Chain A
Amino acid sequence: MSVNATPAGAEAAAEAEQPTGKHAAVPAQRARRGAGAPLSDNKRAERRLGWLLCAPAALVMVLVTAYPILYSVWLSLQRFDLRFPDERQFVGLENYVTVLTNDFWWTAFGVTMLITVVTVAVELVLGMGLALIMHRTLVGRGIVRTAALIPYGIVTVVAAFSWRYAWTPGTGYLANLFDGSAPLTERASSLAIIMLAEIWKTTPFMALLLMAGLALVPEDLLKAASTDGATAWQRFTKVMLPVMKPAILVALLFRTLDAFRVFDNIFVLTNGGNETSSVSMLAYNNLIRGLNLGIGSTMSVLIFITVAIIAFVFVKLFGTAAPGSDDGERR
């Protein structure tokens, strides 16, 4: 036992030294190498245990995600319409050409992008405001937080229906405010209502994530900025935001991916009428309603690829977002 204890201790010490930067990396490596021989067996066993512990989760992941993804890719390479099952055949990338040269697809893609960008941007601003309020309130903190989170707790479809009824001419209170016009029958106003419903529902979620970020900003840092001569706005932009950056990026990533797959609000509010379909709606219409597995799968794969690109970009941004990291951006 005593043989093991020493290298493990050295390892811990080396580990503890690492955050102090590049210079510490050399002694850390040396310590690790010095302790190498007696440790390797130990380490290999540890690694094997690690894999074993991961295995069940990895297996489930493969079964429930990798298989459907690969199967969709396979389907997307075929002409496969359930109404004409006999015409099934492998067509390579023909489906992709069909989709990517199709106006419906690009309209839906544009709508989705618009909804994503607008809702996430507005949610970020509102969420930040809400987070600041929740962070600062001293009295009735619990009540304020609970109240703010209610929209997020309501099932989307239920909320969407209440929006729809509210905007229905004659019966809806919101429609009546606008002289009984029917905003859900026009494209621009429909999109605006869809975005409003989305923002209303998910701003609290954004606020919650941002509040976790706010808690990361040390009180002393803000005090220091005050005495250094910063106004409230300068404290926010020059001290709080940079320190919160990782939390903001996480919140943006979650919300962007979520927003890009927008479905239920559109489904209930307009059912994709007046060119308000998102890509998810379009894929659904082709797959489930149109029973065209080939084209539907192609769209699903394209959505998957877009989401993957968004995630990749954000993760790239994270890499340099950690405060104090040397390769972070320099002004």
Chain B
Amino acid sequence: MADIVLDKVSKRFPDGTTAVQDVDLEIADGEFVILVGPSGCGKSTTLNMIAGLEDISSGELRIAGERVNDKAPRDRDIAMVFQSYALYPNMTVRENMAFPLRLAKMDKETINQKVEEAAKVLELTALLDRKPANLSGGQRQRVAMGRAIVRQPKAFLMDEPLSNLDAKLRVQMRTVVSRLQKQLGTTTVYVTHDQTEAMTLGDRVVIMRGGAVQQVGPPQELYDHPRNLFVAGFIGSPSMNFLHAKVEEGRLRTALGDVPIGERVRRELEAGDAPRELILGVRPEHFEDAALIDDETRARGVEFEAPVDIVESMGSDKYVYFTVEGERATAAELEELAADAGAADFAGAGSNLVTRLSAESPVREGENRRVWFNLEKIHLFDPGSGRNLTLHEGRSAGALAD
């Protein structure tokens, strides 16, 4: 077990691609850290550099305080789990799991004991003499995990280990991974492009974009206090609603009506290079049916009326989709997120609004509904730099804060 420190680590490929740029990251001993981001953002490359499978172009990598830039993978004492599982097809499950131990020249007795132990933890005992070809996807995945844990390495590196499983199995294996990591207390770096996995699994989440780290923090912090537009849009499902907002006469003109702003945001906007146009971000759960709230709550937000497109009743609450007229929010980050999500979420004329209302709301499709949203929870972003203007000392305080 050990801590892992990345100190300004960069990776440039021979063809000139910069896949990873100046990544600073300190992973504490026993911590479970998730690397997440859209496809091609350099997650695998970062992991491969930690494993020693890719050279580090510049910067320093330390495992347990020791610089390992020039060490071969076999001398770093880390175990890796691959998306493809990478099981040796010619070996049985037992031989696969024993392989790292045999290479470490342990005696047969110890090897057998360790393999049996790991097999028991992962419920593989009955499968020990099968070949990988005769296993199901979930079983192969567990063998790959088993091969990683038998050795008790300093750290686990996992590159999208659950991506090849079907949805149900993935949820199941997620808890297996989580429990295993807590049990063993081994430092783990886990790569995924699934933000649900990122939110549920890790102690801390690292969000990457184009080879650079965007924000690092516990999942809830990233959710509540996103540092920029990209993080705000990436974390959360359904994702945050983004609307075009114009600064006029000390108010924000938006498709949801005028929004007042507090002292702090006003000061931000009075700076010389402050943008005149902003992007307003509201999460679905910060909307509520205007008929259901008391006056005190009402005072903390504003109301608007819009036609209801679709109502999805989830039992505990309702997802209600609105279409609002007006200019759409545009920014490089949003386009990137849309491309990663398959563009479906951000298409269409006007803006699509996703809201999560109480189950008691009598909202029906086709009607015009009055909806309230919480000004203390909204975010304002600079469309040029993507910066969250409502963030103060790492906390987001909404539009009204003084």
> Using an 8 Å CB-CB cutoff, how does the interface string of B70-106 with A read, 1 for contact, 0 for none?
0011101011101110101111100100011001100
Asked if B200 lies at the interface with its beta carbon under 8 angstroms from chain A, I say no
Q: How far, in whole Å, are A328 and B95 apart by their CA atoms in the complex?
A: 14
Q: Is there an interface contact between B95 and A239, defined as CB atoms closer than 8 Å?
A: no
Which of B127-135, B173-181, B186-194, B355-363 is found at the contact surface with chain A?
Answer: B127-135
Interface residues on chain B, size class: 20 to 34
Across the interface, do A228 and B131 meet the contact criterion of CB distance under 8 Å?
A: no
In the complex, what residues of B have CB within 8 A of residue A224's CB?
80, 82, 86, 88, 147
- Find out whether the CB atom of A227 lies under 8 angstroms from the CB atom of B51: yes
A323 near B74 (CB under 8 angstroms)? no
B residues neighboring A (CB under 8 Å): 14, 48, 51-53, 72-74, 76, 78-80, 82-84, 86, 88-92, 95, 99-100, 103-104, 131-134, 136, 147, 151, 157
Quick one: given A227-B53, A239-B88, are A234 and B103 in contact (CB under 8 Å)? yes
Closest-CB distance, A129 to chain B (whole angstroms): 22
A residues less than 8 Å from B90 (CB atoms)? 242-243, 245, 323-324, 328
Q: Which residue from B74, B95, B99, B131 sits with its C-beta under 8 Å from A231?
A: B74
A323 contact from B82, B89, B147, Cβ within 8 A: B89
Interface residues of A in 190-247 (CB under 8 A from B): 218, 220-221, 223-231, 234, 238-239, 242-243, 245
The answer on a CB contact under 8 Å between A227 and B92 is no
Determine which residue in A221, A225, A228 has the highest number of CB atoms from chain B within 10 A of its CB, and name it: A228
Q: Report yes or no: A324 in contact with B89, Cβ–Cβ below 8 A.
A: yes
Closest to A139 in B: B14
Residues of chain B within 8 A (CB-CB) of A238 are 88, 99
Contacts of B78 in A (CB 8 A): 227
Asked if A316 CB lies within 8 Å of chain B CBs, one says: no
Closest beta carbon of chain B to A168's beta carbon, Å: 49
- Interface residue? A38 (CB, 8 A): no
B83 to chain A, nearest CB (A): 8
Interchain residue pairs A-B with the least CB separation, the first 6: A324-B133, A323-B89, A242-B90, A224-B86, A21-B134, A220-B86
Q: Please report which residues of chain A, range 139-164, place their CB below 8 angstroms from some CB of chain B when the two chains form the complex.
A: none
Whole-angstrom CA separation of A111 from B290 in the bound complex = 98
CA distance A225 to B133 in the complex (A): 18
Q: List, in ascending order, chain B residues with CB within 8 A of A323's CB.
A: 89-90, 131, 133
Instruction: Return chain A residues, CB-CB under 8 Å to B131.
Output: 323-326, 328
Q: How far is the CA of A21 from the CA of B129 in the complex (A)?
A: 14
* B134 close to A223 (CB less than 8 A): no
Known: A220-B86, A223-B82, A243-B90. A228 touches B51 (CB 8 A): no
- Contact partner of B80 (CB less than 8 A), chosen from A20, A22, A227, is A227
- Pick from A20, A138, A228, A328: contact of B103, CB under 8 Å: A228
Q: Which residues of A (1-59) have their CB < 8 Å from a CB of B? A: 19-22
Residue A83 at the chain B interface, CB threshold 8 Å: no
A-chain residues with CB within 8 Å of residue B73 when the two chains form the complex: 223, 226-227
Residues of A near any B CB (own CB < 8 A) = 19-22, 138, 218, 220-221, 223-231, 234, 238-239, 242-243, 245, 323-326, 328, 330-331
What is the chain B residue whose CB lies nearest that of A232? B72
A interface majority secondary structure = helix
A174 to chain B, nearest CB (A): 41
Tell me, rounded to whole Å, the shortest Cβ–Cβ distance linking A321 to chain B: 10
Q: Can you show 21 pairs from A to B with CB atoms below 8 A apart?
A: A20-B134, A22-B134, A224-B147, A226-B52, A226-B53, A226-B73, A227-B53, A227-B74, A227-B79, A228-B79, A228-B99, A228-B100, A229-B103, A230-B74, A231-B74, A234-B103, A238-B99, A239-B88, A242-B89, A242-B90, A328-B90
Which of B52, B100, B104 counts the most chain A CB atoms within 10 A?
B100
Q: A223-B86, A243-B88, A324-B89 are known contacts; what are 4 more A-B pairs with Cβ within 8 Å?
A: A224-B80, A224-B82, A230-B74, A323-B131
Residue of B nearest to A19 (CB): B133
- Is the pair A331, B80 in contact by a Cβ cutoff of 8 Å? no
Report chain B residues within 8 Å CB of A22.
134
A186-B14 Cα distance, complex, nearest whole Å: 54
Known A-B contacts A228-B103, A230-B74, A231-B74; the reply to A221 vs B134 at CB < 8 A is: no
Complex CA distance for A139 and B138, rounded to whole angstroms: 40
Q: List A contacts of B80 (CB < 8 A).
A: 223-224, 227
Closest residue to B75 on the A side, CB-wise?
A229
| B82 and A220 contacting across the interface, CB-CB below 8 Å | yes
Give Cα A123 to B26, complex, Å: 52
| Most chain B CB neighbours (cut-off 10 Å) among A223, A227, A330 | A227
Closest to B104 in A: A229
CA distance A218 to B136 in the complex (A): 19
Per the bound structure, the CA–CA distance linking A243 and B88 in Å amounts to: 8
Assess the A220–B74 pair: CB atoms within 8 A.
Answer: no
* Nearest CB of chain B from residue A112's CB, rounded to whole Å: 34
CA distance A80 to B61 in the complex (A): 83
What CA separation (Å) do A226 and B157 show in the bound complex?
Answer: 13
CB contact between A243 and one of B76, B89, B95, B136 (< 8 Å): that residue = B89
Residue of chain B at shortest CB distance from A331: B95
Q: Which residues of chain A are near B51, meaning CB under 8 Å? A: 223, 226-227
Q: How far, in whole Å, are A239 and B102 apart by their CA atoms in the complex?
A: 14
Shortest Cβ gap from B145 to chain A (Å): 13
**Least CB distance, A236 to chain B, in whole angstroms:** 13
For residue B136, which residues in chain A have a CB less than 8 angstroms away from its CB? 20
What's the least CB distance linking B44 to chain A, in Å?
A: 11
B93 CB to nearest chain A CB (Å): 12
In the complex, the chain B residue whose C-beta lies closest to that of A330 is B92
Among B48, B132, B151, the residue within 8 A (CB) of A324 is B132
